[in-house]
Structure formats: C-alpha cells, structure tokens
Amino acid sequence: MSKQDYMNTSVQEPPLDYSFRSIHVIQDLISEEPRTGLRPLKHSKSGKSLTQSLWLNNNVLNELRDFNQVISKLLEHPENLAWIDLSFNDLTSIDPVLATLFNLSVLYLHGNSIQRLGEVNKLAVLPRLRSLTLHGNPIEEEKGYRAQVETMSPAIALAFLPLVVTLLVRYRHHFRLLVRTVLLRSLRDCLSGLRIEERAFSYVLTHALPGDPGHILTTLDHWSSHCEYLSHMGPVKGQILIRLVEEKAPTCVLELGTYCGYSTLLIARALPPGGRLITVERDPRTAEVAEKLIRLAGFDERTVELIVGSSEEVIPRLRTTYQLSRVDLVLLAHRPRCYLRDLQLLEAHALLPAGATVLADHVLFPGAPRFLQYAKSCGRYRCRLHHTGLPDFPAIKDGIAQLTYAGPG
C-alpha cells in the first residue's frame, strides 16, 4: 500500500489498543498482544499496523523512553500518528518525543502525575493539535491552570486559527444570517420590548396601504431587506407558491405555520372565488400579529381562518370542529422536524384526496431529510424539488418540495 493510500484510509482504522495491560515500559509493547475490537486491525505486507491511533491508557508507564523506536516497529507510518491516549498512567512530565509527532491532533494525558504547568508549552509546536486533556493531574492545583490549560494555552489555540478562518470564509453567509437572526434580533427584542413580528407590523402600519395585500407584501420585503431580517418566505419562493395556487385553483388550502402572515397573504390573494384558507399558528403572540396583518389586507374570516394551536392537536379536529372534509393544497411552513409527523396525520385522517398538492418550505435549510425520504420512498407521492435561496441570502441554498398525492395506495 502506498503512503497516499495509507493516508486516505488509516484514519478510519480502529486503534492499536494496549490499554489495561499493566505495561511498565514502552518496550513491552513489542511482546504484548493488542486488544481486539469489533473490527480487525489491518496490516501492511510487512506486518505493521495501518492505523493512526495508539491507545496506551490505564497502564503504569512513567516515561516514554525509546518511544519512536518501538512504534516504528508497530506502525507502518509512525510519523502520521494522529491520536495517542496516555491517560491514567504515572507520567510526571510531558516527554519531548510527543512534540516531534507533527500530525498529532488528539492527545489524552488526564489522570497522570504531571506537576508543572510549564510542561504544556512543549506541545505548542504541534500545528494540528486540536484536543488535549490534562485534568486529574497535580497541575490542576497550580495557579493559572484554568486560564492556560482550558484554553489549551495561547500557542496551542493558534492551531485552531486556520480552521476558524476557513470556516468563516466558507460559511460567511451562514455567519451573517446567524448574526442577523439571533444576535441582533435578541438585542432589539430586549431594547424595544417587542418581537420582530410586532416591529414588522408597526412598520407596515406606517408604510403600507390598507386593503392592498400586494403592497403589504412589498412593504414586508423592504423591511426585511433594509431593516431587520424577517425569516419569511420572500418574493422568489412566493412566486412559486402563487403560481401553484393559481394552477391548482384549490377550494380549500391548509397552511401549517402562519408566522407573520406573509405566505398567508400570498395564498389568499391567489385563491379562486369562494376559496377558503385555514392557517394554523401555535404561538398566540405571533398569531395575534398575523391576524391583524391578514385583516389589514382585507381578508375576512370566511376567506382566511386563523387557528391558534399546535398542528399535532389541530389536524385531528379539522373534520369535527372546523368542518373540513378535504384539503386540496397544504403548505408546511412551521417546523421542518414536524413535517413528517403532520403529513402522516393528514393521511391518517383521510384529509388528502387523490391529486392533492403538499408544499414544504425549508426542506434543504435547515432541512427535512426524514420527510423527503418518506415522500420519495412510500410510493404515494410524486415529488419535485424547487431549488431556491433564502431571502436576502441567495448563497444559502434552500428549496420547496412539491408533492402530489396519488392516494392511499
């Protein structure tokens, strides 16, 4: 096996495990049989192990003399050791030999007898060291241990810098989204005493034309882009929704997840004459804002009925309490992790007629993998995925799943 092949596969290999062997000196490894796990160790033609992990924990080692010579007899490429477990031995210092293993990323030294905090600095030269454990050593009692060790010392922490920079560059759009939807939003919630939906509604009241749902939607889009990110459906996905409602001309639509009422207005303005929309929102405070927005747009309760409650509780009562015998189109826009549960509830209560359309937002971000897997594999749906991006964050890929129900089968 070439060295390149080794590098590609050895990280997946089980460790060379000499734990709990009462080993006193490193030389004993040559005559000692390693432990066997669920997967057998792989070896090269020369008989040496093809792993990057060496476990020596729970022995009685007090030094690592001849460490390099011994592991060169055990490992095909000892210089590529990435994980060493030396926990629960009798080591009193960090042997300099460990600082020569430049591919080392995980080093367990907890439960030893290391007494000097300065020993940690020997490892500052290791560029890939990501995880270091030292708890259970006498150095825990030394002043400054928490500041230096829990941060893995400033020098070792620098090893994280390239990774952090890479992640920030690669996921810069996600980072911006996090800042806008969590940090800034939480700060404004505290300062204003209002939720983002309430602040958005206040903006609509002063900038939008009452009775004009199109202008209200445009105002919400403008506020989300220029003031605070609303996490709403947005105009791109909105066009997909409007087109499907106009094509299907459903007499009854069920929306799970009203939120601020944005997608509710999209559906309501595209309904055919006599069409009915039932929208469900579990949060009473959010539902109150959505109700005001819907009525401001000019839709009465005969066209748009808002139900406050969890979808899990509302769906079984749609027939008896709300006189809803069938749903021609369903929009899932609440919590992606609830999509599969609610789809199966709709099936169980025979609310989906053959040919009914089910739309599910956010199936790629944050994602609904179990829902998609079920829809594709159960044999009762024809599936299509509309690829889009998030509003104001087009680089973050998302999608709307369109399912056409073929019947119970």
pLDDT at position 98: 94
pLDDT at position 332: 98
pLDDT surpassing 80 at residue 43: yes
330, 346 contact by CB (below 8 A): yes
Which residue shows structure tokens 């959010």?
286
Query: b vs e for 200-239, b when ≥16 Cβ sit within 10 Å of the residue's Cβ?
Result: bbebbeeebeeeebeebbebbbebbeeebbbbbbbbebbe
Question: Which residues neighbour 111 within 8 Å (Cβ) at sequence distance 6 or greater?
Answer: 87, 88, 89, 135, 136, 137
pLDDT surpassing 90 at residue 185: yes
pLDDT surpassing 80 at residue 160: no
Residue 395 class from Cβ within 10 Å (0-12 exposed, 13-18 middle, 19+ buried)? exposed
The structure's pTM equals: 0.64
How do residues 137-153 score in pLDDT, each as one tens digit? 888 777 666 655 554 44
Average pLDDT, the chain: 89
Domains 3-166 and 231-405 fall in the same CATH topology: no
CATH fold for domain 3-166: 3.80.10
Query: b vs e for 69-105, b when ≥16 Cβ sit within 10 Å of the residue's Cβ?
Result: ebbeebbbbbebbbbbbbbbbebebbbeebbebebbb
233, 265 contact by CB (below 8 A): no
pLDDT at position 171: 82
pLDDT at position 118: 82
pLDDT surpassing 90 at residue 132: no
**DSSP state for residue 126 in the 8-state scheme:** -
Domain boundaries, the chain: 3-166, 231-405
Percent of the chain with pLDDT over 90: 69
How do residues 202-224 score in pLDDT, each as one tens digit? 999 999 999 999 999 999 999 99
How do residues 331-376 score in pLDDT, each as one tens digit? 999 999 999 999 999 999 999 999 999 999 999 998 999 999 999 9
- In CATH, what number does 231-405 get? 3.40.50.150
Q: What is the mean pLDDT of residues 175-200?
A: 93
